[in-house]
Amino acid sequence: MCQFCYIGRPNPFLFEFFRRRFHGSVLYRSLPVPRRHTPYFGQPDYRIYELNKRLQQRTEDSDNLWWDAFATEFFEDDASLTLAFCLEDGPKRYTIGRTLIPRYFRSIFEGGVLELYYNMKHPKESFHNTSITLDCDQCTMVTHHGKPFFTKVCTEGRLILEFTFDDLMRIKSWHFAVRSHRELIPRNVMLSQQDPGMLDQLSKNITRQGITNSTLNYLRLCVILEPMQELMSRHKAYALSPRDCLKTTLFQKWQRMVAPPGKRAARKQATETQRIEFGR
């Protein structure tokens, strides 16, 4: 009996996939449910494998459009990403919204990373009505750094992902809590350094808990800027002055508080917000 790929026992994800897709159709009953080694549909860890493959395809030329496409492929429109870790001055926890996710991943590479992938050991899936949760207590974020020496940084922690259970299988929430990190250097680099200055450089960590300074700065900036995003979008979309942006935003917030809009009004509101976001 195979623990992993449901050989010899029903795969609930596979079953659910076919049920949703073919329920009520003639196909459903006569569909040849794969017998073995094709338990791909609905297995959330394959999506992380695909995410790793996509990250491999990044080049120096990958621009904002590339990163937007990356985020669109793997993250829901209302996704959020949380990173928790402990620095010298205490625990940190950063949560960013969907629009900031592309630049989060980009910031990792801007910090001197040449390669990035996630390695999951014994991830656990759980299946809910409209989502699948993947909980991996032994996840390693591996990054390769080129300067000043080749360094491989392994950031270990718990990764909890929530996927929407549909054809696209995109991530609704990403939560990575860093437990520890390890910076690995090639044996031969260490041996070839006789210069004390170089040895000193060799001894310094190049990340903080596996996170580069550029990512750390980006996350700090996000926390400051995210609440101001509505104001900035309004400024760009309507060319209002900052003061007027603040006024109209506050007025709309107050309106919503005193008279919660009906269904139709709410929909109009949502459409407008979306337009403003895309207009950035």
Beta bridge partners of 152: 144, 184
Among 24, 57, 130, 259, binds its own copies (CB under 8 A): 57
Distance in angstroms (rounded) separating the CA atoms of residues 44 and 162 = 9
Tokens 């990512």 sit on residue: 215
DSSP 8-state class, residue 42 = T
**Per CB under 8 A, does 35 bind its own copies?**
yes
Say how many residues touch its own copies, by CB under 8 A.
47
**Per CB under 8 A, does 19 bind its own copies?**
no
Find how far residue 122's CA is from the centre of its chain.
20
Distance in angstroms (rounded) separating the CA atoms of residues 87 and 28 = 53
Least distance to its own copies from the beta carbon of 32, Å? 7
Q: List phi, psi (to 5°) of 168.
A: -80, -25
Among 54-62, 89-97, 101-109, 239-247, the segment contacting its own copies (CB under 8 A): 54-62
Distance in angstroms (rounded) separating the CA atoms of residues 237 and 74 = 28
Q: Which burial class, exposed, middle or buried, applies to 94 when counting CB atoms under 10 A from its CB (0-12, 13-18, 19+)?
A: buried
**Per CB under 8 A, does 168 bind its own copies?**
yes
Least distance to its own copies from the beta carbon of 28, Å? 11
Residues 201-230 that bind its own copies (CB under 8 A): 202-203, 205
Among 2-10, 239-247, 248-256, 268-276, the segment contacting its own copies (CB under 8 A): 2-10
Interacting residues with its own copies (CB under 8 A): 3-5, 21-22, 27, 30-32, 34-38, 40-41, 46-47, 49-50, 53-54, 56-57, 117, 119, 121-122, 150-152, 154, 167-169, 182-188, 190-191, 202-203, 205
